[in-house]
Amino acid sequence: MKQSILIPVIKSGFEINYFIKKNPFHQQNSYFKTDGESWDDFSQLENLFRLHQHDSMEILVFLDGDCEFFCEGKTYSLKKGDVIVIPPYAVHQAIVKNFDSYERIIINFSEHLLDDFISSSPSMKENINYQKTQGSYVLQLHSKKFQDILSVLQELYHKIMNDKGNVSFSTNYLFFQLVQDIFDPASSMPNLNNNNELDQRILSILEYIELHLTEPDLSLASVSNYFHLNKYYFSHYFTKNMNLPFYRYVSLKRLAYAVTMIKQNQLSIEKIALKCGFLDYSSFYRLFKNEYHLSPKKLQKEYKSVFYTH
């Protein structure tokens, strides 16, 4: 099994990626991004369909095809009109059986932009909190609302093309309306088509890991002991439910938090390594370099460069 990776979102606002064959956006390319780059620029699609995570919230609008979606221990069989809400750092994967019929739109937006939206709209905060309580990452949109959202996405595409890299106020406001509509409970009902019976134990384990993630002594032995499980059974149980081993999952989560702190540029990378739960800088550096194929300092430099040009 291939390892999970982190795909960081560099822009401070939002990105929209389209994977569409029957293209309603009147472009020739089957796959394109909102900045107009072509299929040739995105020929390496493998990472999008491996276990991975982002340092931003992600929304996937499913249009067509035969696809199962895995997210943090849960698997869903997707149907047209499903919207998948993926929290930052959640390990997830789209398992596509036939790419000839697979179509989707993915929206990524930064935590900073989401905070701005929430501060402008108390109702959005309530709706997002309500969605979190539903126990499902997938929402089934009502057919009329689904068509409305597709229309907004089409309008957004044309606005972004006209903005030519400088996102206008009207574009940001249209995106705000899109997010508001998606999270509005009146737009959808929770999709309960979950292939796993809800396993409260794995959810409790994931919550425990999240709470203790930055503690250096978090380990397979300590977690299995806390839940009164044999560590060999726990190791097998965790891997079966999460599609990757315990150590790998914890390392990915810690690295993802490190990426966020590196982008904030407020602490030295050595201090970031310790704050994220790594025992020392050398082990952090080795894992970071193996994961992202560049050093932490180079990522910081590249992010600064991209950030100040947008």
Q: Which residue has the higher pLDDT, 41 or 76?
A: 76
Boundary (domain end) residue, out of 169, 190, 211: 190
- Looking at every residue in the chain, the average pLDDT score rounds to 79
In this structure, the answer to whether residues 151 and 235 fall within a common structural domain is no
Q: Which residue has the higher pLDDT, 73 or 210?
A: 210
pLDDT score of 115: 86
Q: Is the pLDDT of residue 57 over 60?
A: yes
pLDDT score of 219: 94
Q: What is the band of 11 on the pLDDT scale with cuts at 50, 70, 90?
A: low
In this structure, the answer to whether residues 157 and 22 fall within a common structural domain is yes
Q: What is the band of 305 on the pLDDT scale with cuts at 50, 70, 90?
A: low
In this structure, the answer to whether residues 120 and 186 fall within a common structural domain is yes
Q: How far is CA 82 from CA 42, 105, 149, 214, 310, in A?
A: 25, 11, 12, 34, 32
Q: Is the pLDDT of residue 5 over 60?
A: no
Q: In this structure, are residues 69 and 76 in contact, taking their beta carbons and an 8 Å threshold?
A: yes
In this structure, the answer to whether residues 120 and 83 fall within a common structural domain is yes
| Residue whose token pair is 């990757």 | 244
Q: Which residue has the higher pLDDT, 89 or 147?
A: 147
The answer as to whether 195 is a domain residue is no
In this structure, the answer to whether residues 143 and 277 fall within a common structural domain is no
pLDDT score of 229: 92
Q: How many domains does the chain have?
A: 2
In this structure, the answer to whether residues 48 and 138 fall within a common structural domain is yes
In this structure, the answer to whether residues 160 and 224 fall within a common structural domain is no
Which residue range(s) make up the domain with 239?
A: 200-307
- Cα(224)–Cα(220) distance, rounded to whole angstroms? 6
Tell me the β-bridge partners of 86.
Answer: 58
Q: Is the pLDDT of residue 39 over 50?
A: no
CATH of the domain at 121: 2.60.120.10
- Cα(107)–Cα(14) distance, rounded to whole angstroms? 7
What would the mean pLDDT of 194-216 be, rounded to a whole number? 78
22: left (phi over 0), alpha (psi -120 to 50) or beta: beta
The answer as to whether 102 is a domain residue is yes
In this structure, the answer to whether residues 240 and 301 fall within a common structural domain is yes
Boundary (domain end) residue, out of 160, 190, 220: 190
Measured CA angle at 84 (ends 81, 88), to 5 deg:
160
In this structure, the answer to whether residues 140 and 65 fall within a common structural domain is yes
| CA atoms within 13 A of residue 13's CA, in its CB half-sphere | 16
Q: Is the pLDDT of residue 3 over 80?
A: no
Q: Is the entire prediction scored with pTM above 0.85? A: no
Q: In this structure, are residues 149 and 141 in contact, taking their beta carbons and an 8 Å threshold?
A: yes
Q: Is the pLDDT of residue 244 over 60?
A: yes
Boundary (domain end) residue, out of 141, 165, 190: 190
What would the mean pLDDT of 26-54 be, rounded to a whole number? 49
Percent of the chain topping pLDDT 70: 81
Written as one string, the DSSP assignment of 173-203 is HHHHHHHHHHH-GGGEEE---BSS---HHHH
In this structure, the answer to whether residues 186 and 206 fall within a common structural domain is no
